[in-house]
Structure 1
Amino acid sequence: MSTAGKVIKCKAAVLWEEKKPFSIEEVEVAPPKAHEVRIKMVATGICRSDDHVVSGSFHWPLPVILGHEAAGIVESVGEGVTSVKPGDKVIPLFNPQCGKCKVCKHPEGNVCLKSSLQQPQGTLIDGTSRFTCRGKPINHFIHTSTFCQYTVVDEMAVVKIDAASPLEKVCLIGCGFTTGYGSAVKVAKVTQGSTCAVFGLGGVGLSVIMGCKAAGASRIIGVDINKNKFAKAKEVGATECINPQDYNKPIEEVLKELSDGGVDFSFEVIGRLDTMLSALLCCQNSYGVSVIVGVPPDSQNIPMNPMLLLTGRIWKGGIFGGFKSKDSVPKLVADFMAKKFSLDPLITNVLPFEKINEGFELLRSGKSIRTILTF
């Protein structure tokens, strides 16, 4: 019996309050309106950005269904949808691409003006929610809300991918892998033979290392206080790893000594203000490029001396690895299918969706790189 046009009752992980566990609830998911798509989730990754909402460092309207790194199958579409059809394998896009705004038309811009990343909005584009639980509307999260067996997204926030792709792996292209890999190859534009430093060796940091290696960097230094992450970092391309706690001087000084005055490229993939400054300081002061990849805490600023930039350093950031999502995600999936990179080293745990709280504990304890939840 077709579910098209009908309300679907299903399970979702609802966050009712900050700093509390997710609650597995029965929710009602309304059918898609015009230019919307309803997706049956197959797999979703647990990303640190979701945990930032739980911890309160990234404020979002509550209650909410989080999740943004996923893959699924189109269940039904609303009127006017032309880019996908029921049965298509798709990846929802937390960083949408409307294709019409000033940013989408710019060759380098990729944070669409319709994105809710800059202005947290717990609804779809029309200002309303498709989720109801206990008779109350539940907020959407950055166009995706993938911690639910079914979700509804705007057409600009979903893209069709290769029908043969394994969704439990390519879901990582929806955020973590692409964010890290693109930060190296597209945002920083790492050069052949260069020296790179990567602060933070979680899933995104490892993806940065993979991008640096693909771009031809000759030296990739991993930086983390958890030595248990070093073996995996070397497996994906780090040439050496260091722990700041092993030194009695600032880590930027250590890195300068290791790299004859400063690295060519550095990446902060943690989301801490002190490490963002350290990453900038460890760059060669005349031509070094430092990229902020980690999501910083809300409403905090870094005091810094403009002289650090006046000499020629470049300090920049990038959402989703600088990639335009609709244009790039299908190509990255195709590259994965062509074995140009592997996602297996990033996946340490696979759990049923109902064990979401266990998955977040694995993330917080540093025991997992990426946990995939399957539906």
Structure 2
Amino acid sequence: METAGKIFATGVCHTDAYTLSGSDPEGLFPVILGHEGAGKVESVGEGVTKFKQGDTVVPLVTQGQGLLPDGTSRFTCQGKQVFHFMGTSTFSEYTVVADISLAKVNDKAPMDRVCLLGCGISTGYGAALNTAKVEPGSTCAVFGLGAVGLAVIMGCKVAGATRIIGVDINPSKFEKAKEFGATEFVNPKDSSKPVQEVALEMCKSCIRTVLTF
């Protein structure tokens, strides 16, 4: 069950660069990269019932192997097969995905922002809630205040953490981190001690410590 759509916005994730470098053992070439996209449904295939033409959607990473669930590709170039990437391939004006690889979003949502739900935000938010399982009253340390780190902070706050320590060598990031819920900040350059020791001294009664990069 497949859906074809037009991509209106896409983010660039480090995973795209990592795969392009040839370092990813699962990377297959030639390939259309990209997995942080947002777009509109153009058409739906047989058996698709959850989506219709015109829906605003975010593609989701659901499979690798460079192919759709049925083991085939929908991309070609000069008569040769081109592989899919993470089931999404958002570095393309149009893409084809399995219906399980889509989430419908509000039509009014700005696509240049909501596209980050496809990876960066969901990765960090899910790490706090589903992987670390942050508990109410926890003290958390988040290492790295990029997009994923900010999403971790957001997840920690929703989970009820009372202290959220942001760790980054760029102090200008702290103001934005506070908007997401960080309560304190540590710059590893400000201490001769290893930063993990500094963080542990700040939260000796930690219930849970969350790490990200």
* 2:144 counterpart letter in structure 1: G
1:267 paired with 2:210, answer yes
1:312-331 per-residue CA deviation (whole Å, 9 max, x = no partner) reads: xxxxxxxxxxxxxxxxxxxx
- Equivalents in 1 of 2:39, 2:198: separation in Å? 45
Instruction: State the aligned residue count.
Output: 212
CA positional deviation for 1:41: 0.7
Which whole-Å deviations, capped at 9, do the CAs of 1:232-272 have from their partners, x for residues lacking one? 212322112112233222222211111126x32223322xx
Cα distance between partner residues in 1 of 2:180 and 2:104: 28
State the match for 2:200 in structure 1.
256
Separation in 1, partners of 2:21, 2:207: 34
CA shift for structure 1 position 138: 1.4
| 2:167 pairs with 1:223 | yes
Structure 2 residue aligned with 1:64, among 31, 39, 42? Answer: 31
TM-score between the two structures when normalised by the length of structure 1: 0.53
What residue in structure 1 maps to residue 74 of structure 2? Answer: 130
Q: Which amino acid aligns with 1:266?
A: T
1:208 lines up with 2:175 in the alignment: no
CA offset digits 1:185-232 (Å, max 9, x no partner) = 333232222210001111010011111122222211111223332222
Residue 182 of structure 2 is matched in structure 1 by 238
How many angstroms apart in 1 are the aligned matches of 2:103 and 2:162? 35
Task: Write out per-residue CA displacement over residues 308-360 of structure 1, whole angstroms, 9 at most, x where no aligned residue.
Answer: xxxxxxxxxxxxxxxxxxxxxxxxxxxxxxxxxxxxxxxxxxxxxxxxxxxxx
2:14 to 48, 52, 55: 48
Instruction: Specify the code of the residue in structure 1 equivalent to 2:41.
Output: V
State, as a whole percentage, how many aligned pairs show the same letter. Answer: 57
Secondary structure, counterpart of 1:170 in structure 2: helix
Query: Following the alignment from structure 1 to structure 2, what is the Cα–Cα distance between the partners of residues 225 and 135?
Result: 49
Q: Is the 8 A contact 1:181 1:207 kept in 2?
A: yes
Tell me the equivalent position of 1:179.
123
- Equivalences for residues 279-358 of structure 1 within 5 A: none
Partner of 1:351: none
Q: Residue 164 of structure 1: CA displacement? A: 3.3
Output aligned runs, 1:84-233, within 5 Å. 84-95=51-62, 115-116=63-64, 121-233=65-177
SS in 2 for 1:196: strand
Alignment TM-score, normalising by the size of structure 2? 0.90
Structure 1: gaps (5+ residues): 1-34, 96-114, 271-375
Amino acid at match of 1:82: T
Rounded Cα–Cα distance in structure 2 between residues aligned with 1:258 and 1:38: 51
Q: Which amino acid aligns with 2:208?
A: F
Unaligned runs of 5+ in 2: none
Q: Which deviations, in whole Å up to 9, do the C-alpha atoms of 1:11-54 show, x marking residues without a partner? A: xxxxxxxxxxxxxxxxxxxxxxxx11111111111222222213
* One-letter code aligned to 2:35: H
User: In structure 1, what is the Cα distance between the partners aligned to 2:80 and 2:40?
Assistant: 27
SS of the residue 1:267 aligns to:
coil
